[in-house]
Amino acid sequence: MTAFGRSFVVSCVRAWPWLVVLALTALLLMQRAAYPHIIAYPDAWTLPIAEAVNVVMDGIVAGAQGVTRAISGGLNVVFSGVQFFLTGAPWVVSVCLFALIAWQGGGWRLAALTVALLFYVLISGYWIPAMNTLSLVLVALPLSVLIGFGIGYLGYRSERARRIIMPMLDLMQTIPAFAYLIPILLLFGFGPVVGLIASVVFAVPPMVRNTILGFQRIPPAVLESARMSGCSRPQQFVWAEFPSAMPQMLIGVNQTTMAALSMVIIAAIIGGFEDIGWEVLSAMRKAQFGHSLLAGIVIVILAILLDRVSSAYAARQLPGASHVGLSLRRFALVLGAALGVAAVAALLLPALWVWPETRVFFPAQVINQATTDFLLAYGDVMAALKNSVQFYVLLPVKLGFERAIVPFTWGITFTPGMKTTYWIVTLICAAAAFGLNRWKTGVAILVMAGFFYFGATGLPWASVFLLITLVAFQVGGRRLALLAAGTVIYLLINGLWPQAMLSVYLCFVAVLMCIFFGGLIGIWAASSDTVSGIIRPINDMLQTLPQFVLLIPALMLFQVGDFTALLAIIAYAIVPMIRYTEHGLRSVPGTLIDAGLSCGCSSWQLFWQVRLPQSLPQILIGINQTVLYGLGMLVIAALVGTTGLGQAIYVALGEANAGAGLVAGLGMALIAMTADRILQAVIRKQN
């Protein structure tokens, strides 16, 4: 037997589980015409879990509504007080207050940035909506911090509690916010306080994680010193543990602040009032790109301010901080005096109390008209681009080559001869890979060829179950395989399989495009400081702009449909791919690059043989984050006409169907957690 033959046999032996699954898949596909349930999971095999959740939820609402409405009323009093101050106070007083708080935390530069950004909010005419949003965040933030600290400290003190808390945090951060808005709506009613509570739920996990991490990182010497000094347990907590964990917890406060702010538009759906989230949502519903963009910029400004100020206060706790500010007493005196002067000035000059409407700069109509003119001039080009991607990329992945290649879309017929040639070439390529002792490559060729031939919606559900479970087992072991198998079973028995595959198909295409284009941009940015400097603020903008805003330009240019959703998902999910690729390539040790140059490597060889292999773990993390971002954006994309789990959640929200919303939301969370765990296992193998 030749070397090729021996390698082929050895590869077949190593790949026998995959070959068995692929052979079973082939048999199932041969029988799909006679037995439709091979592709479509039988409805008779589903369980009424959503209905059971609704029954339980009805009981909870009936029993707890009195308490929850009382909580809602109490929070409404606090929120109304903060809102009354921020919206009723003269703008000059509010600007002075925020500027001094920023100065105390980060110095004059941060104070000047605060004044400049707030000035834009003033001249844009969005001052009152911005203050309403800030009121919501300022009430949600302390609640999130206190609840998060309490849960986090419990997790630090109790291993048993931590084992329960950590999976719950994963669920809270992966279940789409739309899903748990429904029970919150049923329990607490409609209004801004409901949005506040939703923001608290979404913002708690970062504080919990950073609290646990902060206490776990306390140096043992600090604890030992406290014990030797005779500290009681409360004294040890107050004088040793809490101060040592403070820097990490302040990072948690920063992340919690950003998480609370990111909920403002989603919260506006069920708690809409005159806040900036409602302005963006209203503009999106009217397809007013100019209005939504200007309102979105205000949210970006609030995000920048809250991020910089909270980060500055966290940095003050670190050794060697460049700015320490005044003592608390002196700062209170300076703040009181400054606000008094500002209030007197506002009484004397009405323009300092309310910004004059004649001085508002609001070019929304200009932007809207420019968008319309662009569509009139390049509408045909936009339509051609949309149809090309729709026919040659999206439909083949969704339906497979056998159903997508038709005269209407491709201009040709996928004849039996072409189908035979397709499979012959596939088998030859796979056999060559097996013969070269690359059985994993051969299996990948067979799996991907089958996926593209039959499409995401044309594969037997039993085959997908076996393939996903086998992948999870081989990269992560038994526990990961159980998670993967449980995820597929959950989707099947809840009747969510068709929606899940539609979500997977759209996310799969978006992630592939993010990997390709984001990887290229990241490589370019890593090789040029100028490009990196240009890309960085664009990435910041894409991640701080509300997700809804990303839908507006795509919606204006391409109308509703999967292509519009694809563009919005790519715009949101491409950022981590760019950042991690650039970071990984820039982090390659200089000694390795020097060694490659001394060996005579060309720039091309240096990239492929040194820089790319060394940066691969970071790039895989970027792919992991891209997948999670893409899945997270699917629910938002449901607003522009996509089908799938996101649409199921959004429909459930409109019907106040808690069972359907939670079941679909948990299904999406399980998909995200399974993808995350599999990719993490791959990353660990690369390290």
Q: What is the CATH number of the domain that holds 563?
A: 1.10.3720.10
CB of 508 closer than 8 Å to CB of 562 = no
Average pLDDT of 181-200?
A: 79
What residue type is assigned to position 52 of the chain? A
Q: Model confidence over 102-134: pLDDT tens digits?
A: 998 888 889 999 999 999 999 998 999 999 888
Q: Among the three residues 301, 325, 349, which one is the final residue of a domain in this structure?
A: 325
Spatial CA neighbour of 540 closest among 575, 504, 493, 489? 575
What's the pLDDT at 227? Answer: 83
Sequence-separated contacts (24+) of 559-563 with Cβ below 8 Å: 560/640, 560/641, 561/386, 561/390, 561/640, 561/641, 561/642, 562/390, 562/394, 562/398, 562/506, 562/641, 562/642, 563/386, 563/389, 563/390, 563/394
Of the pLDDT bands very low, low, confident and very high (cuts 50, 70, 90), residue 270 is: low
- Highest mean pLDDT out of 115-124, 358-367, 619-628: 115-124
Residue ranges making up the domain that contains 608: 496-687
Q: Among the three residues 291, 325, 359, which one is the final residue of a domain in this structure?
A: 325
Whether the per-residue pLDDT at 261 is higher than 90: the answer is no
Percent of the chain with pLDDT over 90: 27
376 assigned to some structural domain: no
Of the pLDDT bands very low, low, confident and very high (cuts 50, 70, 90), residue 599 is: confident
What's the pLDDT at 641? Answer: 67
Task: Determine whether 662 is exposed, middle or buried from the number of CB atoms within 10 Å of its CB (0-12, 13-18, 19+).
Answer: buried
The CA dihedral of 104, 110, 113, 119, to the nearest 10 degrees, is: -10
190 or 439, greater pLDDT: 439
The encoded tokens of residue 488 equal 């597929």
334 assigned to some structural domain: no
Cα–Cα distance measured from residue 250 to residue 309, given in angstroms and rounded to the nearest whole number: 11
CA angle 283, 286, 289 (to 5 degrees): 55
In the chain, what is the straight-line distance between the N-terminal and C-terminal CA atoms, in Å?
37
Q: Among the three residues 266, 299, 325, which one is the final residue of a domain in this structure?
A: 325
3-state secondary structure of 42: coil
132 assigned to some structural domain: yes
Percent of the chain with pLDDT over 70: 96
CB of 139 closer than 8 Å to CB of 197 = no
225 assigned to some structural domain: yes
What's the pLDDT at 365? Answer: 86
Q: Model confidence over 368-417: pLDDT tens digits?
A: 888 888 888 888 888 888 889 999 999 999 999 999 998 888 888 899 99
Of the pLDDT bands very low, low, confident and very high (cuts 50, 70, 90), residue 322 is: low
Which residue, chain included where needed, has tokens 């929120």? 79
185 assigned to some structural domain: yes
Whether the per-residue pLDDT at 178 is higher than 90: the answer is no
CA atoms 575, 256, 223, 226: torsion sign: positive
Comparing 314-318, 363-367, 384-388, 617-621, which segment has the lowest mean pLDDT?
A: 314-318
Comparing 233-247, 303-317, 350-364, 569-583, which segment has the lowest mean pLDDT?
A: 303-317
Q: Kindly report the average pLDDT of the chain as a whole number.
A: 85
- Highest mean pLDDT out of 136-145, 216-225, 369-378: 136-145
105 assigned to some structural domain: no
Print the SS3 string covering 302-358: HHHHHHHHHHHHHHCCCCCCCCCCCCHHHHHHHHHHHHHHHHHHHHHCHHHCCCCHH
Q: Model confidence over 451-478: pLDDT tens digits?
A: 999 999 999 999 999 999 999 999 988 9
Whether the per-residue pLDDT at 71 is higher than 90: the answer is no
- Highest mean pLDDT out of 248-257, 455-464, 607-616: 455-464
What's the pLDDT at 465? Answer: 95
Q: How many domains does the chain have?
A: 2
Whether the per-residue pLDDT at 28 is higher than 70: the answer is yes
519 assigned to some structural domain: yes
What's the pLDDT at 201? Answer: 83
360 assigned to some structural domain: no
Whether the per-residue pLDDT at 672 is higher than 80: the answer is yes
